[in-house]
A and B are shown apart, each in its own frame.
Chain A
Amino acid sequence: MVGLVASEAPAPLGAREGSTNSARPPPRDSLAAVAELEDQRRRLEKALADLKSTQARLLQAHKLEAIGQLAAGIAHEINTPTQYVTDNVEFLSRAFERLCQLVVASRELLESAKQGAPSSEVLARAEASLANARIDYILTEAPKALQQSVDGLHRVANIVAAMKDFSHPSGGEKAPCDLNEAIASTIIVATNEWKYVAEVETDLDPTLPLVRCLRDEVNQVILNLIVNGAHAIDAVVIGGSKGKGTIRIETTHDGGWAEIRVTDTGCGIPEKARDRVFDPFFTTKPVGKGTGQGLAIAYSVIVEKHRGEISFETELGRGTTFIVRLPVNVHEERFSTFCAPPRPLA
């Protein structure tokens, strides 16, 4: 990826220098000068188009990489409830078997009681199956086992729904999107990235209008901000061995803008790195933890593709807040409120 950008980026720069140099001398032959300018303009345009397509490929590559990393975490998030649902069901099926035996014995007892005093054999059988059933244990544990199994299955269903929601391709078409919902899905999908080092708190403005955007790319931005926050906290709490930090995600509706704030209680951004935060390939993370693409892509998605804004506030040792602002089109808002497709389960 480095090669792609390095080889294609200098072209427009060179072209621009050429154009300023040749434009300075008085135009002796203005027609030739115009033709040259036109030629350079075309070259610039082509370079720009190339750069855009490189950037699109880069975004796609980064997205695939992020999904690969997420997949391992999601597998873990699904394996855990599957484990306890399996064990609970095993317990419940054995408990059911013992209860069935008890019912059979009780019926037998009832029948013989109706015909007079039950024989000592029937009594003994009923007592034995009652003892074997360990009924008190079943009575206290079975409801919990059922409840936790239901919870576990819900959790799996939620993760799968969030995954679908998160990765649903926009196909490059902007569509009305509920940012609060996008944030909720992204938090679930990224659970394994933050849960060992942080708690996630949300304060999502219910009056936030739908925002017309490329939903998958905005999801990617939110994911990058959450993962960055988790990494920044990890640097302080060292894998959770020194407690957990907090990632706080807020949305607000501010006039024509929808605002997302992602705040972490991590290490903060060092002063000398602050100017380069949004530069491609710039990273302060150790090798293997970050490619330096996350925020560069966030910038490209928010600023260039959505005419939004992205900025940050940071304090060393205290943490960082990233602020994303996306413009809300009032007309779109009304349009989409009526025409929005049914939403998946939150």
Chain B
Amino acid sequence: MRVLFVDDEPRVLEAIQRMLSDAAGAWEVITATSGEQALALLEDSRIDVIVTDIRMPGMDGATLLNKVHERWPSITRIVLSGHTDQEHAMRAMGSAHQFLSKPCNPKRLTDVVENAFYLSALTPNARVRELAAAVHRLPAMPKVHERILALIDGSRASVRDAADLVAQDPGLCAKILRIVNSAFFARGQLVRDVRTATARVGLDLLRALVLQERASCGLSGARVEQIQRDSLDAAAVTIRIVAPEHQRTAFTAALLCDVGTLVLEQGAPDEIAAVRAYATEGLVPIHVAEKELLGSSHADVGGYVLGLWGVPPVIVDAVLGHHDLGRDPSHLSAAVHVAHCIVAGDVVSPEAARRAGVESRLADIREAYLEEKHAA
């Protein structure tokens, strides 16, 4: 594994090299003091992850990442910048997978790079990576979404500021209000204002919602709406499955489960149509058909993309494992799996029910969901 660090201050590079010297066996650290030098190095050697400063004399980091994205799309692109202003953060968001701000503590930096390695190892399929990269080739995500992500990922995230941004996007407002007022989230009275809604949703979930929008950006139509609606339903059902302290995480994981499907829909629409036909004819589950025809399931694609975007590993693992219970032994992926089965009208296996801890409550949960749906 090779990481390329780019910064115009050589002392930053030297210090990072020293800090990472313990990990030297596992990964090779290469450095460049300018965008031009970085491109020359990329021409000559295989690089897995690039971490770059934004403002540099000559070619700046945003331009560098755009070029890397065009020429070597499967390289993980991370920004490490000392600029705290939104303008710079925003400019980089478009082509970067993740945004870290200086000073970044050594553990976080190491974790982010290691996570990138972990993901690549997890999804060796080149096709998956191409599709994941394709997400960024679509028209840029709406400005408001970019700003929300930059805000949440920045060091001064506040609910108040986030709510002000949410208020600028009617679609997102509607979505958040729908979520907080759903039977599962509501605690008594209706929430009507965006600030309360945002506070109740919390920044983590807000981020997940924005990422879901990001994955479906450029897509519209009945299929996309169906996927988003089903995810939201499954998220709501998941809350009934898990203990209160896991509800937020479970909700987020269930909501993001089918992000991979959205990516496939836009990255390979013809192939995904063929997959659906194959699944219907052969009576095989979609994720099996995807694996057979594409080499990767939507769970793989979703997990990979979310991991690149810096979503916490516990959620990435749940997404990766939500069709393949052998893959992630956590209670969370079982819960998400069961919720998806209920929403899709599929049979829940006794093993899945046991792992999700709902053996005795399964029928009640299914009934509650169907009633809820009828009422809507």
Contacts and interface: CB of A to CB of B under 8 A. Distances in A.
- Asked if A and B bind, the verdict is yes
Interface of A: 72, 75-77, 79-88, 90-91, 94, 134, 137, 141, 144-145, 148, 151-152, 195-197, 239-241, 244
Contacts of B59: 241
Contacts of B11: 81, 84, 148, 151-152
A244 B14 CA distance: 24
A145 B55 contact: no
B14 A75 contact: no
B43 interface: no
A244 B19 CA distance: 32
A75 B57 CA distance: 18
Contacts of B55: 76, 196
Interface of B: 9, 11-12, 14-16, 18-19, 21-22, 55-60, 80, 82-85, 101-106
A148 B83 contact: no
Contact of B15 (A88, A94, A241): A88
8 contacts: A83-B12, A83-B15, A83-B80, A83-B102, A86-B15, A87-B15, A91-B18, A145-B15
B19 A88 contact: yes
B105 A86 contact: yes
Contact of B14 (A79, A84, A94, A239): A84
Chain B interface secondary structure, helix, strand, loop or mixed?
loop
B104 A72 contact: no
Nearest to B8: A196
A52 B85 CA distance: 35
B12 A84 contact: yes
Nearest to A79: B82
Contact of A145 (B18, B22, B101, B105): B18
Contacts of B15: 83-88, 91, 145, 148
- Of B18, B55, B56, which is in contact with the most chain A CB atoms at under 10 Å from its CB? B18
B37 to A, nearest CB: 14
A197 to B, nearest CB: 7
Given A145-B18, A197-B57, A82 B106 contact: no
Contacts of A85: 15
Given A240-B58, A244-B57, A82 B102 contact: yes
Contacts of B19: 87-88, 90-91
B101 A79 contact: yes
B60 to A, nearest CB: 7
Given A86-B105, A91-B21, A144 B14 contact: yes
Contacts of A81: 11
A84 to B, nearest CB: 4
A76 B14 contact: no
Nearest to A69: B85
Contacts of A79: 82, 84, 101-103
